[in-house]
């Protein structure tokens, strides 16, 4: 499928003199031709690996039934298995995207941002199919590259067709009022073939480290003219060459790269599909374009021409630009020049490419699964064909006979088969049958040994594929099987960790595009349950404003749990629940019982428990200061709790207030600061009230000997000895009452000065 430049952001075209355009064309052609030799060697390897995947072979070999030529699809089934494991992890039922704020002011919107990215990746972008292609090429070839620009997919919506003659005459005028409808606007993700990207033979860790990168694509003349009006190409240049573009696109068939063997992988894919796209008469609308990303010293204002090394007339620092160059066909033409700093001003790495590698061994073009298993597949196929040949010799042994004793019929047959009668003069003396003893056990052992080599490379054994192992040392018990699976999963976990890191970088790239180029207000689908009351949800969704996208986050993806993992998790959760039922600390705590019961129902697949059984009210257990800060950033109203250590809380609140007030104005959360200031005052009031109550109780205990005679306690002067309530004991209702009924005067006299609700002066509140 051709990748058209409408997938990129338009605008910001740079107008250059003719001499500068000619210099750019020569630079692009030189870079392309210089890198083509190294590119061909890499693509020859990828072509060989793609042949292993498609199991392509010479049809003449298949027609030869005399010689065994079966090819064991080892690469195919191992690639399928690794591919399915990755997709199960990424797109499982409980896969989730999470966000971690990099600044304290970003905490308030972190939940909303995470739910938005969850919707964008899994629902809006429909990333499943392109990501499948991306991961497949990573597994097979070792490295995969995708084009990730900002995409605006729109179409024109016309008015309904007129029904009467007068309206038909006005049809042209009415249709001129067609409105543009945006089908999708957001980050794009377009996997590329290995031979769509050409880079120099330089040492690099990422695609952004190369001195230049060339992406090849084909585009129609009509699309060029439409995108030129949107600023993706230079509108003036395209209009001046409109007739030539239309003629070339209409009359010349679409073709692969005219350079010999520049696209061997795609040509191999054509053979696998049974389609020949080189100069096919039925193919149209394809003009080849080189999209060159590189560094270039721009001319200073007022300068029309200068050599590349002339720093007097050129800028001292290089600019990273993109040039779209129509390099083949009846003419050479630069369709547009843009500065990446204008296109993606807030991105750290501005080249719109994402990449992933199967193995992080310090090389850029690392091994893929196809290259790891290529030699083993050939050896397994040879062993299989050797065993087949031995079986054929056992079924049809070699026969020696004397030609003079054979009949005319026997000379004509040459081959013998079942139910054939071949007359000879003396079979006992003139016919000799050489029987072969074929033992298939050696071939079976050889095959198992070779397959075990493959399993040691990629960790994909029979157990991971859901098959019962047939080796002699296969596990005999459930415990042995589980232990073997867990050990085998270590290699799969290694691949999963690398894939997760690649997806983290991809999500961060998406967010940088969203924060920079998304519309001011964007609606996204989210349920009230997913929002958890942390942001507004109306009509089945919420909105992301530009203020919501000002924060910086580190995104991560939580992989889905496998079927075996889910079963093990259910068993573990059920066993834990049974242990919790015998724990008095949990049984006597309604909130704890509700949480572990809800967790058990969730693991068992029942997601309606929280709707049917409401959560008990929150108790007054103290919270840590940082937990209070997180809740305040999330928009909650937090009140002090009686069990708080007020002194420590006030110290932490004071530090946090100072930190939040020092944030830049554009990232400062004024609502959170105001709420924390209010909470600070409430915490001080609670501390003063605790001091007041403590002082009152101390005063009561000090004046207790004076109060006992008035209460009639035994052993006190002027009091009776018949009281049934001992000092400090309980009354008839069981309540502790060590001093109730004390006169107001003595108690009030013992209060310290300033025990009211005064505020400290160092708050600045």
What does the pLDDT look like over 602-622, one tens digit per residue?
888 777 887 788 777 666 678
Give pLDDT, residue 443: 83
Q: Say yes or no: 190 and 217 in one domain.
A: yes
**pLDDT the model gives residue 536:** 81
Nearest Cα to Cα of residue 68 among 381, 450, 439 = 381
Residue 87 lies in a domain: no
Q: Residue 742: its pLDDT value, please?
A: 37
Which residues are within 8 A (CB) of 555 and not within 5 positions of it... i.e. 6 or more apart? 97, 98, 99, 100, 117, 504, 507, 508, 511
Q: Is residue 419 included in any domain, yes or no?
A: yes
Domain final residue, candidates 611, 646, 669: 611
Helix H or strand E encompassing 686: helix 670-702
Q: Is residue 413 part of a domain?
A: yes
Are residues 667 and 593 both part of a single domain?
no
Query: Does residue 531 sit within a domain?
Result: no
Residues 606 and 629 in one domain: no
**How many domains does the structure of the chain reveal?**
4
pLDDT at 685: 92
Residues 604 and 631 in one domain: no
Give the pLDDT confidence of 675-734 residue by residue, as tens digits: 999 999 999 999 999 888 888 888 877 777 776 666 555 544 444 444 444 444 434 333
Which DSSP string corresponds to 541-588? EEEEEGGGGSS-EEEEEEPPPPHHHHHHHHHHHHHHHHHHTT-HHHHT
Q: Other CB atoms closer than 10 Å to residue 77's CB: what's the count?
A: 14
Q: In this structure, are 412 and 298 located in the same domain? A: no
Res 206: pLDDT:
92
690: part of which helix (H) or strand (E)?
A: helix 670-702
What pLDDT score does 24 carry? Answer: 94
Q: Are residues 255 and 273 in the same domain?
A: yes
Model pLDDT, residue 712: 59
Provide the domain limits for residue 412. 398-434
pTM beyond 0.75:
no
- Between strands 398-401 and 431-434, the pairing is antiparallel
Structure confidence at residue 722 (pLDDT): 43
Which of 349, 369, 389 terminates a domain? The answer is: 369
Does residue 290 sit within a domain?
yes
Shared-domain flag, residues 586 and 707? no
Sole residue written with tokens 């597994």: 139
| Helix/strand/coil for 540 | coil
Mark whether 305 and 166 lie in a shared domain.
yes
Q: Domain boundary residue among 387, 410, 434?
A: 434
pLDDT in tens, 328-349: 766 789 999 999 998 888 888 8
324 and 419 share a domain? no
pLDDT of residue 465: 59
Examine the domain organization and report whether 355 and 406 are in the same domain.
no
624 with 607, same domain: the answer is no
pLDDT under 70: residue ranges of the chain = 1-11, 57-66, 104-105, 159-177, 251-261, 277-285, 329-330, 401-424, 459-491, 532, 562-565, 617-620, 707-765
Q: Is residue 467 part of a domain?
A: no
334 and 425 share one domain: no
H or E element that contains 5: none
Could you write out the three-class secondary structure of 201-224?
Answer: CCCCCCHHHCCEEEEEEEECHHHH
């Amino acid at each position: 499928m051709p990748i058209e430049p409408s997938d990129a952001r338009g605008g910001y075209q740079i107008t250059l003199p003719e001499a500068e355009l000619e210099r750019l064309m020569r630079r692009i052609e030189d870079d392309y031709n210089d890198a083509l030799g190294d590119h061909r060697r890499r693509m020859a390897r990828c072509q060989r690996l793609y042949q292993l995947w498609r199991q392509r072979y010479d049809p003449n070999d298949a027609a030869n039934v005399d010689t065994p030529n079966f090819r064991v699809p080892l690469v195919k089934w191992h690639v399928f298995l690794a591919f399915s494991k990755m997709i199960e992890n990424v797109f499982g039922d409980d896969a989730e995207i999470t966000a971690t704020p990099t600044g304290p002011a970003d905490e308030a919107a972190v939940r909303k941002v995470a739910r938005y990215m969850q919707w964008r990746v899994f629902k809006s972008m429909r990333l499943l199919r392109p990501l499948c292609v991306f991961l497949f090429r990573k597994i097979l070839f070792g490295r995969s590259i995708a084009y990730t620009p900002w995409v605006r997919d729109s179409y024109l919506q016309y008015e309904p067709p007129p029904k009467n003659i007068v309206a038909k005459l006005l049809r042209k005028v009415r249709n001129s009022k067609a409105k543009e409808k945006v089908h999708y606007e957001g980050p794009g993700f377009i996997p590329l073939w290995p031979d769509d990207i050409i880079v120099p033979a330089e040492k690099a860790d990422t695609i952004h480290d190369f001195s230049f990168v060339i992406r090849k694509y084909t585009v129609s003349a009509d699309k060029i003219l439409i995108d030129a009006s949107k600023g993706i190409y230079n509108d003036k240049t395209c209009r001046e060459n409109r007739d030539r573009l239309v003629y070339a696109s209409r009359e010349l068939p679409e073709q692969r790269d005219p350079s010999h063997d520049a696209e061997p992988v795609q040509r191999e894919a054509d053979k696998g599909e049974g389609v020949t796209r080189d100069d096919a008469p039925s193919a149209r609308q394809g003009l080849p374009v080189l999209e060159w990303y590189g560094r270039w010293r721009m001319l200073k204002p007022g300068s029309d021409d200068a050599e590349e090394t002339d720093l007097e007339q050129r800028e001292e620092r290089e600019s990273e630009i993109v040039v779209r160059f129509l390099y083949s066909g009846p003419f050479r033409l630069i369709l547009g020049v843009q500065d990446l700093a204008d296109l993606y001003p807030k991105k750290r790495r501005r080249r719109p490419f994402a990449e992933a590698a199967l193995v992080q061994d310090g090389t850029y073009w690392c091994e893929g699964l196809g290259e790891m298993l290529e030699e083993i597949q050939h050896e397994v196929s040879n062993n299989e064909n050797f065993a087949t040949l031995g079986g054929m010799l056992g079924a049809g042994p070699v026969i020696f006979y004397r030609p003079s004793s054979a009949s005319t019929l026997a000379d004509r047959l040459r081959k013998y088969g079942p139910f054939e009668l071949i007359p000879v003069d003396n079979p006992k003396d003139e016919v000799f049958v050489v029987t072969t003893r074929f033992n298939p056990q050696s071939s079976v052992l050889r095959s198992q040994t070779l397959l075990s080599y493959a399993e040691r490379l990629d960790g994909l054994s029979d157990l991971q594929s859901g098959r019962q192992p047939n080796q002699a040392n296969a596990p005999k018990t459930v415990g042995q099987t589980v232990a073997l699976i867990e050990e085998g999963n270590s290699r799969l976990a290694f691949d999963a960790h690398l894939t997760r890191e690649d997806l983290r970088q991809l999500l961060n790239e998406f967010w940088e595009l969203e924060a920079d180029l998304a519309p001011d207000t964007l609606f996204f689908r989210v349920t009230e349950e997913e929002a958890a009351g942390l942001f507004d949800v109306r009509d089945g969704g919420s909105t992301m404003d530009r203020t919501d996208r000002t924060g910086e986050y580190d995104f991560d993806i939580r992989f889905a749990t496998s079927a075996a993992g889910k079963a093990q998790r259910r068993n573990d959760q059920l066993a834990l629940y049974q242990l919790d039922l015998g724990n008095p600390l949990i049984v006597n705590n309604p909130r704890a019982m509700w949480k572990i019961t809800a967790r058990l129902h969730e693991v068992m697949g029942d997601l309606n428990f929280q709707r049917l059984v409401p959560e008990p009210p929150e108790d007054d257990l103290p919270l840590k200061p940082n937990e209070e800060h997180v809740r305040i950033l999330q928009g909650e109203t937090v009140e002090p709790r009686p069990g708080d250590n007020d002194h420590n809380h006030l110290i932490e609140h004071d530090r946090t207030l100072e930190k939040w007030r020092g944030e830049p104005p554009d990232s400062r959360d004024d609502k959170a600061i105001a709420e924390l200031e209010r909470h600070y005052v409430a915490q001080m009031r609670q501390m003063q009230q605790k001091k007041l109550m403590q002082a009152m109780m101390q005063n009561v205990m000090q004046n207790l000997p004076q109060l006992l005679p008035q209460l009639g306690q035994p052993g006190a002067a002027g009091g009776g000895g018949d009281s049934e309530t001992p000092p400090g004991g309980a009354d008839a209702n069981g309540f502790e009452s060590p001093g109730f009924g004390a006169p107001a005067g003595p108690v009030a006299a013992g209060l310290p000065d300033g025990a009211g609700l005064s505020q400290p002066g160092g708050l600045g509140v």
